[in-house]
Chains A and B, each alone.
Chain A
Amino acid sequence: MTNDGNSVRFDRRTLLKAGAALGALPLAAPFVQVARAADTIKIGVDNPLTGTYAALGKNEATGMAMAVDEINAKGGILGRKVELAIEDSTSGDAGVAVQKARKLIDRDQVSFIIGNINSALAQAIANVANEKGVIHVVPGGHTDSITGQNCHWNVFRVCNTTQTEANAVAGSVIKSAGKKWYYLTPDYAFGHTLQAGMEAAAAKLGGTKVGADLTPLGTTDFSSYLIKAQAANPDAIIILQQGDDGVNVLKQAVQFGLDKKFHLAGAQLELEVLLGLPPEARVGTWVFECYWNQPNVPGLKEFVAETRKRSGGHVPTARTWFGYASIHTCALAAAQANSLDAVKMAKALQGFKLPPEIALMPDGAYYRAGQNQLIPNLYVGHPQAQGKDDPEDLFVVDQVVKGDDVSPTLEETMCKQDWPA
């Protein structure tokens, strides 16, 4: 089979070859493996740099870099400098995330691995880390099972579980609005678990469900659902949609005037999302996991100032703090255990309380023993259309909730850790 009809002329081919050879030059770099400096400790980061979660990933990366600089300024981990090895996990491809985790652990010999924003990828990375016996810190993947049914002795999580967030908001909504709730839920795993979590949280406080609608992912017109919700005459409409769906449903609910008649509420909301919402859709009652404009929190002002320096004037979000606390967790584990042995470090973190300048919470934060879940404060409040003193001050905290009061008990999480013998 020869190629006829579109033969390539010789000169073009020569040009191509030259181009390809030039292009291949930098690609030869991995073959010249850089000698690993024995005096540094590597922390592998397997987090999204591309795709849906790229913006959140960037904020987490800012926090991580800040923590590394702080640790190195104080002499590093066990006297050795810390260095980040950063890989793009993509926002949704578990195959890539797993491959990168193996690359970081096997080839780069990292002592810790951090990731992921996407809960599915976080679970996939946790499997690899558990197989290899490496400490894994999940900065921002919220699904319950990471520190619940699928928990591992070596997997720690900074951000809250979905159930904790649901519990935190439920009390506040019942108090301020009432007990009859109508749910608008995105129709996939995340939405289903969140709704189940909200229902369970409400039931404990005497709340009831007057109706619920599952909306397909990517719905643009929510009017039929909103009319149904209105007809059910609930005390509160619980909106669990995220991303574009969340923007659309909130905008339409406001257009229908529902925010005047009923209480709108949801579970977790992030500053990144709030900044992307049009002012009229900044309504409802939500949970923030960390908020920058808080009085009486030790170390928070310095943290905000440092973030502004590093991110072109932007304030830290919960994501910045997740990244920051994750890296500090690694350093603290090694210092506490006085060793880089994963089992010793994991044992040292059981029940470990973060120092206040890292916890950045009014009541501090600690890793709950037997589950490896960080228990911090949560902030329940409502968004405001425009920030008064700062364009990024879009949230008003109504109530600071103690994590201990709203976290499911250890039995409820169904976590059974598999410590190595």
Chain B
Amino acid sequence: MTFDVKKQTPNIIVWVILLTLPLWIEHAGSYIQLGTQVVVMALGAMALNFLLGYTGVLSFGHAAYFGLGAYGAGLTLRYLAPSTGSAVVVGVIAGMVAAAVIGPLIVRLRGVYFAMVTIAFGQVFYFVAFRWNAVTGGDDGLTNWKRQPLHFGPVTFDIQSNATNFYFFVLAIFALAVAVMAFLLRSPFGRTLIAIRENERRTRFMGINVNLHIWLSWMISCTFMALAGTLYALLNNFVDPRALFWTQSGTFVIICVMGGMRSFWGPLVGAAIFVWLQDYLSSLTPNWQSFVGLVFVAVVLFFPRGVLGILRRRALE
């Protein structure tokens, strides 16, 4: 495989920025945890975009898998084992299993019906977390646990109290997840998903099992969403049912649309804009949500392909 510098430019830029972030973020008047938050939200949004941008299926219930990941991680650390590694694994498996079970029930639906049923299933998990006080702590959230330092034999990597280490831990997982998603999208499987997005009927006539592909895409998307959820729980050392609520799904959709659904890095750009806007504007005015909303409306009206979409079109022109 040859290395095409021009084609790789966006990737290089993204990774240089992300890897050097701890060096400059404090000079930019911000703080490292905000960077971590951007990466976590970006992972979630990129997971959603796998389904939304590359398969053309809108899910409004992805918060369920985000929250399942978060609760999976939190409950593991609280009740099972003080190990960050197993927390991540359990969270991801929880999200994946739920997606695998729910998938077959909804893959036959399309468009707004699909979106509505995903909300409905998502809310089921929300209410379970909200009502099952004995285990999840209900509305008060799940507390009394902390992310634990990582042990590699004799070496200990302290992600518990060192925020920069935790950032790199999150970034490493992000890199791995993004690499897997990029690999999948470049494979024939990924091309089939794009074919479904572009013309589902034609894809079906070519003898491709469309529902099976959507189910797989859904499961992959939800699994990575759950991974983002586990990282979110570890970042906050706290989970509450809000992580499962449908408005959280909306946040991810907004991030994808802002950044650009058709670009691989679009959701990352969207997450950076969204998280930063929220953090910055909400310190200035209690009406910050209106301004975030205005930005969103402006993006939808003027750059329907998102911030990266417009940049890319400029480059092509």
Contacts and interface: CB of A to CB of B under 8 A. Distances in A.
B37 interface: yes
A123 B143 contact: yes
Interface string B231-247: 01001111110110000
Contacts of A87: 282-283
A94 B140 contact: no
Contacts of B143: 123-124, 127, 145, 150
A99 interface: yes
Contacts of B26: 107
Contacts of A90: 282
A342 to B, nearest CB: 16
B237 A127 contact: yes
B238 A123 contact: yes
Contacts of A102: 31, 33
B316 interface: yes
Given A87-B282, A95-B232, A123-B141, A189 B133 contact: yes
A16 B238 contact: no
A188 to B, nearest CB: 5
Chain A interface bracket (under 10, 10 to 19, 20 to 34, 35 or more): 35 or more
B178 interface: no
A404 interface: no
Given A94-B141, A99-B279, A30 B133 contact: no
Interface residues of B, number: 49
A98 interface: yes
Contact of A30 (B144, B232, B280): B280
Interface in A105-140: 106-107, 119-120, 123-124, 127-128, 131
A187 B131 contact: yes
A179 B288 CA distance: 50
Given A49-B286, A54-B286, A188-B139, A2 B161 contact: no
A120 B131 CA distance: 14
Contact of B140 (A30, A96, A119, A131): A119
A32 B30 CA distance: 11
Dominant secondary structure at the A interface: helix
Given A96-B278, A123-B140, A187-B131, A50 B286 contact: yes
B155 interface: no
Contacts of B283: 87-88, 103
Contact of A31 (B29, B133, B161, B235): B29
Contact of A99 (B34, B138, B140, B240): B34
A93 interface: yes
Contacts of A106: 31-33, 163
A131 B158 CA distance: 14
B7 interface: no
A107 B30 contact: yes
A19 to B, nearest CB: 9
Contacts of A143: 140
Contacts of A95: 37, 232, 236, 242-243
A404 to B, nearest CB: 26
Contacts of A124: 141, 143, 236-238, 240
Given A95-B232, A123-B143, A189-B137, A30 B28 contact: yes
Interface string A42-59: 000000011000100000
Interface stretch (B169-177, B185-193, B301-309): B301-309
Among B138, B141, B232, the one with the most A-chain Cβ atoms within 10 Å of its Cβ is B141
Interface string A75-109: 00000000000011010111110111011001100
Contacts of B317: 2
Interface string A393-404: 000000000000
A27 B30 CA distance: 13
Interface of A: 1-3, 6, 8, 16, 27, 30-33, 49-50, 54, 87-88, 90, 92-96, 98-100, 102-103, 106-107, 119-120, 123-124, 127-128, 131, 143, 145, 149-150, 187-190, 192-193
23 contacts: A1-B262, A6-B304, A16-B302, A30-B30, A30-B280, A32-B29, A50-B286, A50-B287, A87-B282, A93-B242, A94-B236, A95-B232, A99-B37, A103-B31, A103-B33, A103-B34, A106-B31, A119-B139, A120-B139, A131-B146, A143-B140, A145-B143, A189-B139
